Amino acid sequence: MEIKVLGPGCKNCKALEKTVLEAVAELNIDASVEKVEDPGKIVEAGVMMTPGLIINGKIKSTGKVPKKDAVKKMIQEEL
Annotated catalytic sites, by residue?
10, 13
Instruction: List strands edge to edge, sheet with 32-36.
Output: 32-36, 2-6, 52-55, 58-62
Give residues with Cβ within 8 angstroms of 73, minimum separation 6.
none
Would you give the end-to-end CA distance of the chain in angstroms?
Answer: 8
